[in-house]
C-alpha cells in the first residue's frame, strides 16, 4: 500500500499553531503517512512585526525550521491540513496568501478530490476559533477538497478541540498547548492519514491502471 502524503501548511507567530502542527504530524506519521510541514511566510513588514515583543524572533526561528509552502506541495499531497491563528474571527492573511497562490493549480483541477482538514488557535475562549475553522471550510469546499472534520469521534474531543478541527486557547499567548490539546491534534493527524490511505490505490492497483 502507498503511504498517504500529507501537507501541513500553517501560519503561527507565537508557536501555538506550530505545536499543534507538530502533534498533527506525529499522529499522521504514527499512521504511516509521509509529511511535509510548511510555514506560510509574513505578509506584513518588519515595522508591524516589531510592534509586539518576540514576534519577529519567533517568526525567524520558525522560518529556519520550515520551508514556505508551495503550490507543488499541495499537488503532491493526498491531504492538505491548514492551520491558522484566529485574526478578528477569521483566517490569518499569511495563510490566506498561500491559499490564494493555489489559484493556478486549482484552475488546472489538480486539487480536486484531495482531503482537507483544518486547525487553529485563538487568544480567548470565545475569540473565534470555531468561526475561523468554519471560514476555512469555505475555502476547502471551493478548492474541491473532501472535508475531514473530527466530530466527537475520539475520547480526546470531550476534553479539548472542536468538531471542526484541533484548537487551542493561548490566553494572550501566555499558555502553550497541553496534553489534552495535543491529543486532539495527534488524533486529527491519525484520522486524516487513515482516511487518506483508504482513498489512494495500492501500488499494485496503480500499476494496473497505469497511474
Looking at the Cβ atoms of 20 and 111, the one nearer to ligand FMN is: 20
- As beta bridge partners, residue 202 has none
Planar angle of CA 150, 30, 164, nearest 5 degrees: 10
Looking at the Cβ atoms of 4 and 17, the one nearer to ligand FMN is: 17
Residue tagged 506584513 (cell numbers): 44
- For the CB of residue 32, give the shortest distance to ligand FMN in the complex, in Å: 27
Residues near ligand FMN (CB under 6 A) are 12-17, 85-89, 121-124, 127-128, 170, 173
Position with the least CB separation from ligand FMN: 127
Q: CA separation (Å) from 92 to 5, 33, 83, 99?
A: 25, 27, 9, 11
- For the CB of residue 16, give the shortest distance to ligand FMN in the complex, in Å: 3
Residue 43 CA to residue 93 CA, distance in Å, equals 7
Looking at the Cβ atoms of 43 and 200, the one nearer to ligand FMN is: 43
Looking at the Cβ atoms of 12 and 156, the one nearer to ligand FMN is: 12
- For the CB of residue 127, give the shortest distance to ligand FMN in the complex, in Å: 2
- For the CB of residue 125, give the shortest distance to ligand FMN in the complex, in Å: 8
Residue tagged 490566553 (cell numbers): 171
- For the CB of residue 124, give the shortest distance to ligand FMN in the complex, in Å: 4
Looking at the Cβ atoms of 122 and 197, the one nearer to ligand FMN is: 122
Residue 146 CA to residue 124 CA, distance in Å, equals 29
Grid coordinates belonging to 24 = 498533527
Residue 152 CA to residue 73 CA, distance in Å, equals 30
Amino acid at each position: 500500500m502507498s503511504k498517504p502524503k500529507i501537507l501541513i501548511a500553517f501560519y503561527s507567530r507565537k508557536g501555538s499553531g506550530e505545536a499543534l502542527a507538530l502533534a498533527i504530524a506525529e499522529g499522521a506519521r504514527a499512521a504511516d503517512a509521509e509529511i511535509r510541514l510548511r510555514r506560510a511566510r509574513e505578509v506584513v513588514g518588519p515595522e508591524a512585526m516589531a510592534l509586539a515583543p518576540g514576534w519577529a524572533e519567533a517568526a525567524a526561528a520558525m522560518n529556519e525550521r520550515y520551508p514556505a509552502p508551495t503550490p507543488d506541495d499541495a499537488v503532491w499531497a493526498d491531504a492538505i491540513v491548514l492551520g491558522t491563528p484566529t485574526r478578528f474571527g477569521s483566517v490569518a492573511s499569511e495563510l490566506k496568501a498561500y491559499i490564494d497562490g493555489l489559484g493556478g493549480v486549482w484552475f488546472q483541477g489538480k486539487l480536486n478530490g484531495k482531503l482537507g482538514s483544518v486547525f487553529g488557535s485563538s487568544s480567548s475562549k470565545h475569540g473565534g476559533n470555531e468561526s475561523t475553522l468554519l471560514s476555512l471550510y469555505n475555502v476547502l469546499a471551493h478548492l474541491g477538497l473532501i472535508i475531514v472534520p473530527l466530530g466527537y469521534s475520539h475520547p480526546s474531543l470531550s476534553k479539548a478541540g472542536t468538531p471542526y478541527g484541533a484548537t487551542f486557547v493561548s490566553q494572550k499567548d501566555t499558555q502553550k498547548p497541553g496534553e489534552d490539546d495535543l491529543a486532539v491534534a495527534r488524533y486529527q493527524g491519525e484520522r486524516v492519514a487513515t482516511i487518506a490511505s483508504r482513498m489512494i490505490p495500492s501500488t499494485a492497483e496503480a500499476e494496473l491502471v497505469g497511474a
